Amino acid sequence: MSSREFFTARTVAEALAGFRPARRTKAESVPSAAALHRVPAEDVLAPAPLPGFARATVDGFAVRAADTYGASDGLPSYLDLLGAVRMGAAPEVAVRPGGCAAVPTGGALPEGADAVVMVEFTAETLPGCVEVTRPVAPGAGLVRADEDAAAGTVLAPAGRPLRAPDLGLLAAAGVTTVGVHARPRVAVLSTGDEVVPPDTADLAPGQVRDATASALAALVTEAGGEPVQAGIVSDESGALRERLTDALVDADLVVISAGSSVGARDETAGAVAAVGSVWCHGLAIKPGKPTLLAECGGVPVLGLPGNPLSALVVFRLVGVPLVWRLAGCETPPPEPGRRARLARGLASAAGRLDVVQVRLVDGTAEPVLGPSALLSVLTRADGYVVVPEPATGLDAGAEVEVVLYR
């Protein structure tokens, strides 16, 4: 691949829209209580109506709504107290015309009643007699037997990560296991003769510990994937191709850290092209232009820049959505964000997406600047601001959306 091909860069939007491998992880059954953020492989349906019986949503009295029409403070309605509903038990009382029954929040609606009057709008002025000072319409103060979900309706749709309320709804329906996509296995390969494991106690001149792989593994985990540390590959010709071939056997995604630029020692493009097809080599993004996207035997491959900051920025924007897509989620959950005003202007180049790290101080976004080789730029940032491709910069004081780091 020539350097001319490298500099014909795709935009990030083109990469997200156009690079869409068909691979999806298989389905597996997991306990619903342990399925937070997992992606259902198919719609989860309600086996029966929810909540299953009409129930009160307020403390008060179950009534026939017609018996309260016209009631007011000056001219209340008087109803006979026929009994009370016990929590967790079927009502032993029925409401007839002119009568009512005491019912607690969550209690089952007795036969004959079609509304519940809040206790605040009642008074027991005489034994066995309830005074009602507010009219209610049919359905007031209660939920129907199938108001949460009718039998057969979708409780959790396929392709959307399960959230805490989803797990509560599944529990209410008695759904204790759910079929979800397996966590994508993401093999992380580091390259370079200068790169050594993090547990290397003493560094020789020119050596660096592999910091990027650990950070990438954390981002994979955060996206619901299962990181697999595939080790460090030397710059020796053919070594990366051999290790890549091995990684493709069990991985759903292979991430190659470093080796994707156009330097004489960079082997990624050649190794990938030898076993698969390169979709693009170069993204119109700063930092992170020397990025490679490819597919090898149905397994997507992401080649990242060598600088740690660049690699993590690209993986968050391109790699994280790819991990979610492999797990069956076409639209990844949005990152948290906050509006702020730029503390200083930002220059950019039209046609390139700029990702600028910022920290938030009293409602302003202060750019955190530094070389892309420094991880400390990211550790000092609270999030990032995107300067879109058409813009040539952002003015100081401009209102921006800060994408926050969790």
Cα–Cα distance, 74 to 80 (Å, whole number): 19
Structure-block tokens of residue 37: 């953020």
According to the 3-state scheme, what is the secondary structure of 272-305? HHHHCEEEEECECEECCCCCEEEEECCEEEEEEC
Q: CA–CA separation, 266 vs 259, rounded Å? A: 4
Average pLDDT of span 188-195: 93
Those residues whose C-beta lies under 8 Å from the C-beta of residue 177, and which sit 6 or more positions away, are 29, 30, 31, 32
Amino acid identity for residue 56 in this structure: A
Q: Is it the case that residue 263 has pLDDT exceeding 80?
A: no
pLDDT(60) > 60: yes
Q: DSSP states of 323-338 as a string?
A: HHHHTT-SSPPPPPEE
Torsion angle, alpha carbons of 262, 268, 273, 276, to 10:
-150
**d(Cα 140, Cα 95) in Å, to the nearest integer?**
16
Give me the torsion for CA of 18, 21, 25, 26, rounded to 10°.
120
CB atoms within 10 A of CB 47: 13
Q: Is the peptide bond before 165 cis (omega within 30 degrees of 0)?
A: no
Read off the pLDDT of residues 152-172 as tens digits, 9 standing for 90 and up.
999 999 999 999 999 999 999
- Rounded mean pLDDT of the chain? 94
Residue-wise pLDDT for 290-314, tens only, equals: 999 999 999 999 999 989 999 999 9
Please list, residue by residue across 85-117, b when 16 or more beta carbons sit within 10 angstroms of its beta carbon and e when fewer do: beeeeebebebeeebbbbbeeebbbbebbbbbb
Q: Are 116 and 136 in contact (CB under 8 A)?
A: yes
Question: In the predicted model, what is the mean pLDDT of residues 102-108?
Answer: 98
If pLDDT is split at 50, 70 and 90, which confidence band does 194 have?
A: very high
Mean pLDDT confidence for 358-376: 93
- By percentage, how much of the chain surpasses pLDDT 90? 89
Query: Helix axis angle, 239-247 relative to 268-275, nearest 10°?
Result: 50
Kindly report the number of other CB atoms within 10 A of residue 165's CB atom: 9
Provide the 3-class DSSP secondary structure of residue 242: helix
pLDDT digits (tens, 9 = 90+) for 14-50: 999 999 999 999 999 999 999 999 999 999 999 999 9
The Cα-based distances of 176 to 14, 34, 123, 148, 149 in angstroms read: 40, 10, 44, 18, 17
User: What DSSP string describes 107-173?
Assistant: PBPPTT--EEEEGGGEEEEETTEEEE-S---TTTTEE-TTSSB-TTSEEE-TTS---HHHHHHHHHT
DSSP, collapsed to helix, strand or coil, labels residue 52 as coil
Domains, the chain, ordered by start: 3-25+183-326 (3.40.980.10), 27-49+161-181 (3.90.105.10), 55-143 (2.170.190.11), 337-404 (2.40.340.10)
Q: If we measure between CA atoms, which residue out of 114, 379, 375, 405 comes closest to residue 257?
A: 375
Q: What's the whole-model pTM score?
A: 0.88
| Amino acid 139: pLDDT | 97
326 phi and psi, to 5 degrees? Answer: -60, -30
The pLDDT value given to residue 262: 56
**pLDDT in the model for residue 237:** 74
Q: Enumerate long-range contacts of 86-90, CB under 8 Å, 24 or more apart.
A: none
Q: What pLDDT is stored for residue 8 in this prediction?
A: 60
What confidence score (pLDDT) does residue 264 get? 43
**Cα–Cα distance measured from residue 287 to residue 368, given in angstroms and rounded to the nearest whole number:** 13
- Asked if pLDDT for residue 4 goes beyond 60, the answer is no
Judged against a pLDDT cut of 50, whether residue 7 lies above it is answered with no
